[in-house]
Amino acid sequence: MLAMNYRGPFRVRADKNMPEPEILHPEDAIVRVTRSCICGSDLHLYHGLVPDTRVGMTFGHEFTGIVEQVGPGVQKLKVGDHVLVPFNIACGKCSFCKQQLFGNCHESNSQATAVGAIYGYSHTAGGYDGGQAEYVRVPYADVGPMVIPQDMDPDDAVLLTDVVPTGYQAAEMGGIKPGDTVVVFGAGPVGIMAAKCAWLFGAGRVIVIDHVEYRLDFVRKYAQCEAYNFRSLEDPVLFLKKTTGYYGADVCIDAVGCEAAGSTAQTITGRKLMMQAGSATALHWAINSVKKGGIVSIVGVYGPTGNIVPIGNVLNKGLTIRANQASVKRLLPRLIEHVQSGRLDPKAIISHRVPLEEVAEAYHIFSTKLDNCIKPILIPPSARA
């Protein structure tokens, strides 16, 4: 089958000779992909920053598709169902899944002590191939996949597999109260969605910090928020303190993770020399910009090793830090309601629709921020017929 094939840092290709997935367990399904996305966290893999990302792997943890085959243990899905598949691979039975912590499922990635399994996200996340392909194996098919409502646009549905739930959970973990000032670091797709969702929780002011002008322009319009280029600010932390009456924001959200720009020292130690698990610049700014007693919400991806962070400031300011992979399955019912009511318009962030055969070019465009790229989706040949 045709699928994305990882060949090493900055090297991916569309390969027509990738093996088709097979049913390996009675609870598996095989899904023919109709939409898949390239995520900002896929770029961490692409750039060689995630350990144990193996040559020959297929990325892609955001996808929708049509059920082509089910194992004998699958009860809730049938052949022909058009489903959206959460990026978490969750068993639904372990102690973590029973707490609706689907991003921390123990059975799907039992060798790990932290993250659960994720489609197409290195062997640190279970080693499962992802959805940037014509077909994908979906384990625990009765747990994760959800049949797409008949009145929902597939472009909206594919963004409910990760981007919308992650942005929403970023705001939710912030414990936003009516009137709060919320600062989002990062104007990528997740940061854009976090800014939009902050209003749903009652924020009184939403500020986004980034350094890419076209993304700042987009988030101003899409999320109706303030947006500032940190390169035009002498000190982003000082600016945020001043604009909040020297108290600091009530909630700060790190939607950037390990590839944050803005600090030479962090970039060198975290991205060039890899002495820490990525550049933690956005996390530094979040900790130092939030008010005393405030909340820092982290959804930006960092590696499994340590980072240099100002933990003393966390202690002395009395901060609460909340972080996790989004529990997509838990959030889907309310997010579908938000989309159907018009409160959220996920598909509006899609800027590029690219044939799967051109996956290498799509990665290049997204990685280097060409052509005002906000969010690219890949369309397999069968979905274009």
Domain that holds residue 260: 163-323
The structure tokens 């991806």 sit at 301
Q: Which of 302, 323, 344 lies at the terminal end of a domain, its last residue?
A: 323
* The pLDDT of residue 121: 94
Specify whether 22 is located in the same domain as 157. Answer: yes
Specify whether 192 is located in the same domain as 137. Answer: no
| Nearest C-alpha neighbor of 170 from the set 147, 146, 203, 145 | 203
Specify whether 27 is located in the same domain as 114. Answer: yes
* The pLDDT of residue 111: 82
Confidence of residue 314 (pLDDT cuts 50, 70, 90): very high
% of the chain beyond a pLDDT of 70: 99
Specify whether 316 is located in the same domain as 174. Answer: yes
* The pLDDT of residue 265: 87
* The pLDDT of residue 273: 78
Specify whether 168 is located in the same domain as 311. Answer: yes
* The pLDDT of residue 216: 98
pLDDT tens digits, residue range 289-311? 999 999 999 999 987 778 889 99
pLDDT tens digits, residue range 56-85? 999 999 999 999 999 999 999 999 999 999
Check: CB of residue 119 under 8 Å from CB of residue 145.
no
Specify whether 317 is located in the same domain as 366. Answer: no
* The pLDDT of residue 266: 92
| Nearest C-alpha neighbor of 64 from the set 91, 80, 82 | 82
The whole-model pTM stands at 0.96
CATH of the domain at 47: 3.90.180.10
* The pLDDT of residue 272: 87
Specify whether 224 is located in the same domain as 126. Answer: no
Check: CB of residue 108 under 8 Å from CB of residue 91.
yes
385 has a pLDDT exceeding 90: no
Q: Which of 305, 323, 341 lies at the terminal end of a domain, its last residue?
A: 323
Specify whether 96 is located in the same domain as 112. Answer: yes
Secondary structure (H, E, C), the chain: CCEEEEEECCEEEEECCCCCCCCCCCCCEEEEEEEEECCHHHHHHHCCCCCCCCCCCCCCCCEEEEEEEECCCCCCCCCCCEEEECCEECCCCCHHHHCCCHHHCCCCCCCCCCCCEECCCCHHHCCCCCCCECEEEECCCCCCCEECCCCCCHHHHHHCCCHHHHHHHHHHHCCCCCCCEEEEECCCHHHHHHHHHHHHCCCCEEEEEECCHHHHHHHHHHHCCEEEEHHHCCCHHHHHHHHCCCCCEEEEEECCCCECCCCHHHHHHHHHCCCCCCECHHHHHHHHHEEEEEEEEECCCCCCCCCCCCHHHHHHHCCEEEECCCCHHHHHHHHHHHHHHCCCCHHHHCCEEEEHHHHHHHHHHHHCCCCCCCCEEEECHHHHC
* The pLDDT of residue 19: 97
Confidence of residue 270 (pLDDT cuts 50, 70, 90): confident
CATH of the domain at 202: 3.40.50.720
Specify whether 376 is located in the same domain as 294. Answer: no
Specify whether 222 is located in the same domain as 348. Answer: no
Specify whether 284 is located in the same domain as 338. Answer: no
Confidence of residue 274 (pLDDT cuts 50, 70, 90): confident
Tally of domains within the chain: 2
Check: CB of residue 249 under 8 Å from CB of residue 182.
yes
Highest mean pLDDT out of 46-50, 275-279, 372-376 = 372-376
Encoded amino acid at 135, one letter: Y
What whole-number distance in Å separates Cα of residue 298 and Cα of residue 190? Answer: 11
Confidence of residue 97 (pLDDT cuts 50, 70, 90): very high
pLDDT tens digits, residue range 121-147? 999 999 999 999 999 999 999 999 999
Q: Which of 323, 353, 372 lies at the terminal end of a domain, its last residue?
A: 323
Confidence of residue 278 (pLDDT cuts 50, 70, 90): confident
Specify whether 319 is located in the same domain as 332. Answer: no
What whole-number distance in Å separates Cα of residue 111 and Cα of residue 84? Answer: 27
